[in-house]
Amino acid sequence: MSTGTTQRTADDEAVELWGRVINGFTVTNRKIHQVIHDEFSLTEAEAQVLLNLHRHPGQRAPMARLARATSFSTGGFTKLADKLAKRGLVVRAACPDDRRVTFLEYTEEGRKLADDLSHLVARTNHEAFIDVLGEERAKLLAGAMTELYRANAPSGD
């Protein structure tokens, strides 16, 4: 067997390994977000914002920080925040210490929906991810993905 053939096989395996990761993530993520959409009529981006906001202290956060955490431009995030505000789920609030900063925070309706969303996502993650792999393998996969994120995310993420 020539070196070129061996290298090609190693290249093919490297491409296949990543493809299997992407395929597994894609179909599982699609399944989870279909459940979210069916229950709450939220897009993937809207759900991501609400869940991200749910994890912040006081369940409020600077819009620029939420935009970065959800991989949106500030303009794109503003449109998304407008949609969530129009649905009555969030409001903007001025930062008392810095006029340049605008917070996004839940309305009472938004907080209730986010609590329900969080419970649904936890249950669906168990069904589609944790119960499929088992808790130990799910934690290993999550740890590996965290390592990849830290190694490959742009500075400031």
pLDDT of residue 14: 92
pTM of the model: 0.83
Query: CATH no. for residue 95?
Result: 1.10.10.10
Taking only the tens place, the pLDDT of each residue in 129-156 is 999 999 999 999 999 999 998 999 887 5
Domain assignment of residue 118, yes or no: yes
Residue 49 has pLDDT above 80, yes or no: yes
Assigned domain for 124 exists: yes
Beta bridge partners of 1: none
What pLDDT is recorded for position 3? 54
Task: Classify burial at 125, counting beta carbons within 10 Å of its beta carbon; exposed 0-12, middle 13-18, buried 19 or more.
Answer: middle
- State how far the Cα of 157 lies from the Cα of 147, in Å rounded to an integer: 13
Give dist(CA 151, CA 145) in Å, integer. Answer: 10
Residue 15's identity, in one-letter code, is V
Q: Give the single-character DSSP code of 95.
A: -
pLDDT at residue 6 in the model: 63
**Low-confidence winner among 19-23, 70-74, 86-90, 142-146 (lowest mean pLDDT):** 70-74
Per-residue DSSP letter, 60: E
- What region, left, alpha or beta, does residue 107 occupy, with left being phi > 0 and alpha being psi -120 to 50 degrees? beta
- Cβ atoms of residues 157 and 70 within 8 Å: no
pLDDT at residue 135, as a whole number: 97
Domain assignment of residue 157, yes or no: no
Q: How many domains does the chain have?
A: 1
Cα separation, 55 vs 61, in Å, equals 10
24: its two tokens: 């597994």
**Quick check: is 61 in a domain?**
yes
Which amino acid, residue 7? Q
Domain around 49: 3-152
When the pLDDT of each residue in the chain is averaged and rounded to a whole number, the result is: 91
